[in-house]
Amino acid sequence: MFGMRARIALEEKGIQYQHIEEQLPYKKSPLLLEMNPVHKKVPVLIHNDPYLRAQAKFWADFVDRKFTIFQIFTAGKKIWETKGEEEAKREFFEAFKLLEEELGDKQYFGGDTFGFVDIAFIPFYSWFYSYETFGNFSIEAEFPKIISWAKRCL
């Protein structure tokens, strides 16, 4: 899921690249280890303005903390098993509410242009339908700005 971010950014910028599948976390190619010897993870793309970079890192970190694979499965499991158990919904909606408030009336999280936070969050859009279906709620009804934003990103 997180590797999608680099691909989205490269496509958005029109940068040619070679896509190489990695078998993370179990097997890491020599090329990956050479290109990122410290963290041994896929590359991260960062904005070059210090203030905007700090803001983007904050919101990207928020997305990563609230929408980790473990939390997605945990929240999803609660929602799926209980058909929308209120506590699971509350936690899920709380994170979306904060993101929607940050988005406000802007086209994208960074303003008028697609950027780092958009790249960090958009891969999770693919999970929305499952949550709505099994949780018996509508993200679009609750968070129309997030859905409008996602449609602009696609």
Q: What is the pLDDT of residues 66-110, one digit of tens each?
A: 765 545 555 555 555 655 467 777 877 888 898 999 999 999 998
Residue 53 and residue 31 in one domain? no
Residue 37 and residue 111 in one domain? no
Q: What is the Cα gyration radius of the chain?
A: 17
Residue 30 and residue 76 in one domain? no
Residue 57 and residue 14 in one domain? no
pLDDT in tens, 56-72: 777 777 777 776 554 55
Distances (CA, A) of 128 to 99, 108, 113: 15, 18, 23
3-class DSSP state of 113: coil
Phi and psi at residue 88, to the nearest 5°: -65, -40
* Measured distance CA(112)–CA(6) in Å, rounded: 20
Structural domain for 40, as ranges: 1-45
What's the predicted TM-score (pTM) here? 0.60
3-class DSSP state of 8: helix
